[in-house]
Amino acid sequence: MNKTETTRVIKSVATELGFSFCGISKAEFLEEEAPRFEQWLQRGYAGTMHYLEENFDKRLDPRLLVPEAKSVVSLMYNYFPRKDLAKTEQFKIAKYAYGEDYHFVVKDKLKIFLQRIQEKIGEVNGRAFVDSAPVHERAWAQKSGIGWIGKNSLLLNRSAGSFFFLAELIIDLELDYDGPIKDYCGTCTACMDACPTDAIPEPYLVDGSKCISYFTIELKEEMPAEQKGKFENWIFGCDICQDVCPWNRFSKPHNEPRFNPHPDLEKIKTEDWKEITEEVFQKLFRKSAVKRTKFSGLKRNIQFVTK
């Protein structure tokens, strides 16, 4: 099988498994990304996320993660829900956390992906990643042409918006490579204007240490007093910069049953959130990404946004 046929097989398997888009780039050092990432860290935009400073070289060169790596296969998996549970004055959690933790759902898909291409192509060595190792996934997705990095620093796609997870297969096969596409943000600043904590100080640059998602998930300490009253009822993550993005008018509901919310999540009201017990927390979020913040973290977030 030549590399063009191999590339076609890989993209065909991606479609069969429900990935919305698949793009491929050459596994090499991310030369343009290196100084940008270093400057971002130096500005303190990572806040207390010190793990982002670790494995700096691996983050920029996939060949250090997978010896003999030749290609990075970038994939998008849609999670846009049928019903937006945040369109009320109730407390809100980010859409990506409605259902089962994406790390498990997408990783299961990637295992099948690798098996299938090995069945069809033969011996393929590599590793699968879902936000689980130092992989600069948005940079690879952009290089592979499945989207461009928007002013809110998220990957945007003209026909699907931004409500999707990114995943990668780094493999030792040489393939036909896709190229990057044009940036379609234009003069729009909707995401920058809408951010209540001013976490997007300039286009294409997000101060992670000011992001509501950072405060409600990553920050383990007390919330900064100056942020009081700015969270707009978000208690786990935040979708504001995505909800206002014009490209998300093209988002279509996902077809992944494992991403459907727990039936009780839709019914939960403000008072229920305030009185939530650890038992209810475990029942609602047993398999959800919300478990990352732990019961104590969620209680802290709820107290912080309570008027």
**What does pLDDT average to in each consecutive run of 10 residues of the chain (307 residues)?**
95 98 97 93 93 88 94 98 88 96 96 95 93 89 98 97 97 97 98 98 96 97 95 97 98 97 91 95 94 96 93
CB atoms within 10 A of CB 47: 16
Q: How many domains does the chain have?
A: 2
The answer to the question of residue 178 being in a domain is no
Question: Are 240 and 268 found together in one domain?
Answer: yes
Give the model's pLDDT for residue 137: 94
Backbone angles phi, psi at 111, to 5 degrees: -60, -45
The answer to the question of residue 48 being in a domain is yes
Question: Are 163 and 196 found together in one domain?
Answer: no
Question: Are 144 and 37 found together in one domain?
Answer: yes
Question: Are 25 and 62 found together in one domain?
Answer: yes
Question: Are 213 and 71 found together in one domain?
Answer: no
The answer to the question of residue 225 being in a domain is yes
The answer to the question of residue 232 being in a domain is yes
Give the model's pLDDT for residue 159: 96
User: Domain range for residue 109?
Assistant: 3-81+101-171
* Range 128-155 burial, b when 16+ CB lie within 10 A, else e: bbbeebbbbbbbbbbbbbbbbbbbbbbb
Give the model's pLDDT for residue 89: 78
Question: Are 135 and 17 found together in one domain?
Answer: yes
The answer to the question of residue 96 being in a domain is no
Give the model's pLDDT for residue 176: 98
The answer to the question of residue 185 being in a domain is no
Residue labelled with tokens 């809110």: 152
CA distance linking residue 289 with residue 266, whole number of Å: 17
Residues 6+ apart with CB under 8 A from 141: 23, 74, 76, 147, 155, 166
- DSSP annotation of 269: -
Last-in-domain residue among 171, 206, 221: 171
Residue 79 CB-half CA count within 13 A = 23
Question: Are 148 and 225 found together in one domain?
Answer: no
CB atoms within 10 A of CB 58: 15
Phi-psi map region of 117: left, alpha, beta (phi>0 left; psi -120 to 50 alpha): alpha
CB atoms within 10 A of CB 196: 15
Last-in-domain residue among 144, 171, 198: 171
Question: Are 201 and 291 found together in one domain?
Answer: yes
Question: Are 117 and 265 found together in one domain?
Answer: no
Q: What residues act catalytically? A: 131
Question: Are 32 and 122 found together in one domain?
Answer: yes
The answer to the question of residue 91 being in a domain is no
Question: Are 148 and 274 found together in one domain?
Answer: no
The CA distances from residue 178 to 145, 166, 269, in Å, are 6, 17, 47
Question: Are 203 and 155 found together in one domain?
Answer: no
The answer to the question of residue 297 being in a domain is yes
CA distance linking residue 123 with residue 88, whole number of Å: 51
